[in-house]
Structure 1
Amino acid sequence: MPHLQSDLQAQYMSLVKENAGIIYKVIRLYIDNTEDQKDLYQEIVLQAWHSFTRFDGRSKFSTWLYKVSLNTVLTFRRKNSRIPTDDLEKASGYALPGDKNDDTEMLMMAIKSLGETDRAIVSLHLDGYENEEIAEITGLTKNHVAVKLHRIKQQLTKKLNG
């Protein structure tokens, strides 16, 4: 039995390492404080480990991890109301790896100004997730995701074009 546990741990750690970018992206999208980001990374890894035996493989591991990460971050934000929810000035702390041009900064600032659900939807969309996967992660219907994506795109265009 201990061998099965160590195999499960090894499998889990391998999957987390392959998908660590998802965790970092979700955290940076919602949390600006560096110490909170570090704590949340550990909390997400722990929460995902506790839930790993319930991961049934019907969705991709990355989709499942995105959902765990998002739920953990949003729970943290609700418990710690000292964290500003839509502070546009602090949005510059979020950047894509290797991508630090002005257009990217402006886009990230605009995304961070959106509400929690809209941020998650557009972030998932930009990461290449299909509407069905976004619906699974957010708990919305596929049609509702499509409508929200359309509205979010309009909202972002308006913000970026002033």
Structure 2
Amino acid sequence: MSKNQEQEFVRLLEENQNIVHKICRLYTNDQDAHNDLFQEVTVQLWKAYPKFRGDSKFSTWMYRVALNTAITLYRKGKRRVQTQAYDSVEFKIELKEEDDEMMEQLTLLYGAIKQLNDIEKALVFLYLEDKNYKEISATLGISEVNARVKMNRIKTKLTNIINP
């Protein structure tokens, strides 16, 4: 990867890192697992970046890679990500901190969302990120109609979880 590609990757990752943090929050239960999954997603993004053709927005591509990484790891029953040191990669990503009040509200929401299955979690996440059904269907590889039907069912399911 050229120095320009590396700098562009770092810039795009820094601008969009909240996507990865939110996915990590959905698929992990503690900070260590969150950090490990964030590292694994970052490594997978780094490895795949030279193949990114720009057919979609970087954020859409990033959602797909991050969700696929999280779902694959947790479907296999791995609760901890196996990590490696990547000394050859010389960049650091600055962690953006979240506001405490917002974090409390998100914790309640994520608690309900964690009770959903993997695909439902991914769909809710994209919906909460204000993605339209066309973007959701492209990211998840399902039809727009299927995305709409699933989202309506998930809304009912979440309502029943939050208000039993």
Decide: shared fold, TM above 0.5. yes
Deviations 1:51-72 (CA, angstroms, capped at 9, x unpaired): 1122121211111101111111
Extract unaligned runs of 5+ from structure 2: 81-96
Q: Does 1:133 align with 2:135?
A: yes
User: Which residue in the other structure is 1:15 paired with?
Assistant: 12
2-structure distance, mates of 1:78, 1:70: 12
Contact 1:131 1:142 (8 Å CA) reproduced: yes
Contact 2:37 2:70 (8 Å CA) reproduced: yes
1-structure distance, mates of 2:132, 2:75: 28
User: Which residue in the other structure is 1:97 paired with?
Assistant: 98
- The structure 1 segments of at least 4 consecutive aligned residues displaced by more than 6 Å after TM superposition are none
Paired residue type of 1:77? Y
1-structure distance, mates of 2:160, 2:28: 24
**Count of residues in correspondence between the two structures:** 146
Q: Does 1:156 align with 2:153?
A: no
Deviation, structure 1 residue 110: 1.2
1-structure distance, mates of 2:36, 2:19: 16
Paired residue type of 2:132? E
User: Which residue in the other structure is 1:45 paired with?
Assistant: 42
**TM-score, scaled to structure 2:** 0.81
Extract unaligned runs of 5+ from structure 1: 84-95
Deviations 1:15-59 (CA, angstroms, capped at 9, x unpaired): 000000011110110111322222221211111111112212121
**TM-score, scaled to structure 1:** 0.82
Match of 1:24 among 12, 21, 24: 21
- Residue 116 of structure 2 aligns to a residue in which SS? coil
Q: Does 1:72 align with 2:69?
A: yes
1-structure distance, mates of 2:29, 2:74: 11
Structure 1 residues 31 and 13, CA gap change in structure 2 (3 angstroms): same
- Residue 55 of structure 2 aligns to a residue in which SS? coil
Bigger RCO (CA 8 Å, 6+ sep):
2
Contact 2:19 2:63 (8 Å CA) reproduced: yes
Deviation, structure 1 residue 135: 1.1
Deviation, structure 1 residue 82: 4.8
2-structure distance, mates of 1:68, 1:38: 17
Structure 1 residues 74 and 5, CA gap change in structure 2 (3 angstroms): same
Deviation, structure 1 residue 104: 4.5
Q: Does 1:58 align with 2:60?
A: no
Match of 1:112 among 114, 129, 145: 114
